[in-house]
Homo-oligomer: A and B are copies of this chain.
Amino acid sequence: MKATVLHRGQLRVEEVPDPVPGPGQVLVEVAHCGICGSDLHARHHGDATAELARAVGYDDFLRSEQHVVLGHEFSGRVLGYGPRTRRTWKEGQPLVALPILQVDGAPQLTGLAAPAPGGYAERVLVQEAFALPVPDDVPLDVAALTEPMAVALHAVRRGGVGRTDTAVVIGCGPIGLAVIAMLKASGRRTVVASDLSPRRRELALACGADVVVDPGVESPWEQPAATRGSIALPDLLTLGLSTTDRLRRVPLLPWWEVFKVANRLGATPGGPVVFECVGVPGIIDQIVMSAPARSRVVVVGVCMEADSFQPAMAINKELDLRFAFGYDPGEFAETLRLIADGRVDPRLLITGGVGLAGVDAAFAALGDPETHAKILVDPTLGGDEVVPA
Contacts and interface: CB of A to CB of B under 8 A. Distances in A.
A320 B320 contact: yes
Interface in A237-290: 244, 247-255, 257-262, 266, 279, 284-285, 289
A376 B29 CA distance: 73
B58 A258 contact: yes
A250 B315 contact: no
A93 to B, nearest CB: 16
A329 B250 contact: yes
Interface of A is mostly: mixed
A316 B129 CA distance: 24
A197 interface: no
A6 interface: no
Contact of A107 (B49, B257, B279, B332): B257
A309 interface: yes
Contacts of A52: 310, 312-313, 316
Interface in A285-337: 285, 289, 293, 299, 302-304, 306-334
Contact of A318 (B58, B247, B324): B324
A302 B318 CA distance: 12
Nearest to A300: B315
A53 interface: yes
B312 A309 contact: no
Contacts of A98: 250, 253
A143 interface: no
Contacts of A250: 98, 129-130, 132, 329-330, 332-333
Contacts of A312: 48-49, 52, 302-304
A258 B320 contact: no
Contacts of A249: 329-330, 333-334
Among A306, A315, A329, max chain B CB count under 10 A is at A315
A56 B330 contact: no
Contacts of A328: 244, 247-248, 254-255
Nearest to A293: B56
Contacts of A303: 311-312
A162 to B, nearest CB: 16
A109 interface: yes
Interface of A: 48-49, 52-53, 55-58, 98, 100, 107, 109, 129-130, 132, 158, 244, 247-255, 257-262, 266, 279, 284-285, 289, 293, 299, 302-304, 306-334
